[in-house]
Amino acid sequence: MELPSRVVIYCPALELKNKPGRLLAVSPQGYYEVLVDIGERTHTALLPIHETALVFAEPQPTSETMPGLER
């Protein structure tokens, strides 16, 4: 996983659902450090790992073929 990475943020505590952002770091204290647009400005937010789900915006590249698929 390369940082920073574009992510989609789900954090009910801050009412963030399907919110685009950029993951900057994962702290050993249990927080994601993200940049998120709120209103007209970009803010740094520390989101608790145990209450937050992140989905990476870029899919992982795969080079393996699906088993059973004939070409």
Segments making up each domain of the chain, as ranges = 5-56
DSSP assigned state of 39: T
Nearest to 13 by CA among 50, 55, 56, 54: 50
List, for residues 5-17, the tens digit of each pLDDT value: 999 999 998 888 9
Q: How confident is the model at residue 66 (pLDDT cuts 50, 70, 90)?
A: low
39-62 pLDDT per residue, tens: 899 999 999 999 999 999 877 777
pLDDT of res. 58: 79
More confident residue, 56 or 66: 56
Q: CA 56, 2, 32 angle in degrees (round to 5)? A: 65
Q: Model-level pTM greater than 0.85?
A: no
What are the Cα distances from residue 22, in Å, to 43, 57, 62, 67, 70? 11, 9, 23, 34, 39
- Residue whose C-alpha is closest to residue 35's, from 25, 44, 48: 44
